[in-house]
Chains A and B, each alone.
Chain A
């Protein structure tokens, strides 16, 4: 009996468990998946909680619902990977051996990396919305807030779902308009990037939209520390920005287990071949999703596209063949822009987000880099797709590789 071990039962681990169990004979292949939590969080839903659009129940389901029969599931903290010996140690000393390993332990926020961030104002006037606790605490705060300076700040690159803080300020603009205090709320978007987004065309489109909605942008701000007494954030080059409420994307890091295993870079992301998605260190180890260091967005859509490639290459590796599939870095992100509208970007390693229609050229129904009602529905429907199709590894009616059809170059 050969063994496949999957670390992490989030988006990527769950998809791989489903795909592999379907493809591999149960008499030959034992598949085991490990996660420390029993609850699966629909993380894109966290964004909507502070504004009362979703509540906690809308974004959680038991992990076990999505793990197919015939896959062993172990709920435990993972202590360490010992790649040289093809084994993984769990918390408490249990040892799991493997023939092939898939690492899907994602990324987490680490507020302790920024001095002053996790102190007396944490979850009182300083909030993250990348955890369920932060999102729920922020909702309670917003419910009775009287207005003032709302500062949205990003601590470090890379961070998962790079459009989420933009969506957050767009939704905040709508929320405070609807509760009638938008004139009392000053919204400022503070980013270490030189503009609203990384790539020029999307940056222009999103930058114009921020201006239209009267949201200030402070680019090139690299966060050094937070002053809880004076309620200010400070940059390394001495800029200070005052806030009444600070919403933050803290430093994103891979799990500490990666560091303990000696497999990460300085932020615990795993050096991974960006085309084959195989670990650069071990031939029988693949990395899917946010845990890797590949130069594309850390997003659920990327995980979904990458899963095809990891699956194909696992099949090759199992048979001792050369890895045949190549990941192109495809990402596809709906961007909520407030008031029932949304935008959409579609890009990969080589091609920046371009305007056009998706997935059908000239037809859509979704508009790339356009602000439409249809794109908003895309985001709303995504939650259903996530629970019912994506996690189970079913085919979605969209191409895995990015396509130029429907895109306009200039």
Chain B
């Protein structure tokens, strides 16, 4: 665990940069994490982030987000290029999803 400053707040993050306490998350923090990933957040991004935060405990997968009605899978990749699930969950301030073991 390390400390990092986002939006003027000192926050605990994991070694991979995920917020330790999801309840500390704000839209301002999201914007700053996104900037580190070279993403400028739009309204669409925030709709996806909202869905992700609301479904954080339900075993999120790319397929599931593709069925959310907010974006399809291609659209999800367009919003968060590269590793959309890894990136979007980090920006949404939730735990890294435990994809299958």
Q: What is the interface of chain A, defined by CB distance below 8 A to chain B?
A: 156-159, 162, 192-194, 198-199, 220, 222, 224, 236-237, 265-267, 293, 295-298, 331, 347
Q: Which 9 residue pairs are nearest across A and B when measured between Cβ atoms?
A: A158-B100, A157-B100, A236-B77, A237-B77, A198-B101, A157-B99, A266-B64, A236-B73, A295-B98
Q: Is the CB of A237 within 8 A of B64?
A: no
Q: Is the CB of B63 within 8 A of A156?
A: yes
| Assembly CA distance A401 to B73 (angstroms) | 39
Chain B residues with CB under 8 Å of A194's CB are 83, 86
Q: A220-B83, A236-B77 are in contact. Are A162 and B101 (CB under 8 A)?
A: yes
Interface residues of B in 39-57 (CB under 8 A from A): none
Q: A236-B74, A265-B58, A265-B59 are in contact. Are A296 and B101 (CB under 8 A)?
A: yes
Interface size on B, residues (CB 8 A): 19
| Assembly CA distance A297 to B59 (angstroms) | 14
Residue of A nearest to B78 (CB): A237
| Assembly CA distance A156 to B61 (angstroms) | 9
Q: Is the CB of A199 within 8 A of B101?
A: yes
| Assembly CA distance A266 to B73 (angstroms) | 14
Cβ of B57 to closest chain A Cβ, rounded Å: 11
Q: Is the CB of B101 within 8 A of A297?
A: yes
Cβ of A106 to closest chain B Cβ, rounded Å: 16
* 15 additional contacts (CB under 8 A) given A224-B74, A297-B100: A158-B100, A162-B100, A198-B99, A198-B100, A199-B101, A220-B83, A222-B77, A236-B62, A236-B74, A236-B77, A266-B67, A267-B63, A295-B98, A295-B101, A331-B101
| Assembly CA distance A158 to B63 (angstroms) | 11
B interface: dominant SS: loop
B 76-101 binary contact with A (CB < 8 Å = 1; else 0): 11000111001000000000001111
Chain A residues with CB under 8 Å of B82's CB are 220, 237
Residue of A nearest to B75 (CB): A236
Residue of A nearest to B58 (CB): A265
A194, A199, A237 pick with most chain B CB within 10 angstroms: A237
| Assembly CA distance A316 to B17 (angstroms) | 43
Residue of A nearest to B73 (CB): A236
Residue of B nearest to A296 (CB): B101
| Assembly CA distance A266 to B60 (angstroms) | 10
Cβ of B31 to closest chain A Cβ, rounded Å: 23
| Assembly CA distance A156 to B59 (angstroms) | 14
Residue of B nearest to A154 (CB): B100
The listed residue (B62, B98, B100) touching A159 by CB distance below 8 A is B100
Residue of B nearest to A348 (CB): B101
Q: A194-B83, A220-B83, A266-B64 are in contact. Are A293 and B59 (CB under 8 A)?
A: yes
| Assembly CA distance A267 to B58 (angstroms) | 12
| Assembly CA distance A262 to B9 (angstroms) | 44
Chain A residues with CB under 8 Å of B101's CB are 162, 198-199, 295-297, 331, 347
Can you name 5 A-B residue pairings with CB atoms under 8 Å? A194-B83, A220-B83, A236-B73, A236-B76, A295-B98
Q: Is the CB of B73 within 8 A of A224?
A: yes
Chain B residues with CB under 8 Å of A224's CB are 73-74
Cβ of A328 to closest chain B Cβ, rounded Å: 13
B59, B76, B98, B100 pick with most chain A CB within 10 angstroms: B100
Residue of A nearest to B81 (CB): A237
Chain B residues with CB under 8 Å of A237's CB are 77, 81-82
Chain A residues with CB under 8 Å of B98's CB are 295
| Assembly CA distance A192 to B82 (angstroms) | 11
| Assembly CA distance A199 to B67 (angstroms) | 27
Cβ of A39 to closest chain B Cβ, rounded Å: 28
| Assembly CA distance A267 to B64 (angstroms) | 9
| Assembly CA distance A199 to B91 (angstroms) | 22
Cβ of A143 to closest chain B Cβ, rounded Å: 33
B 8-50 binary contact with A (CB < 8 Å = 1; else 0): 0000000000000000000000000000000000000000000
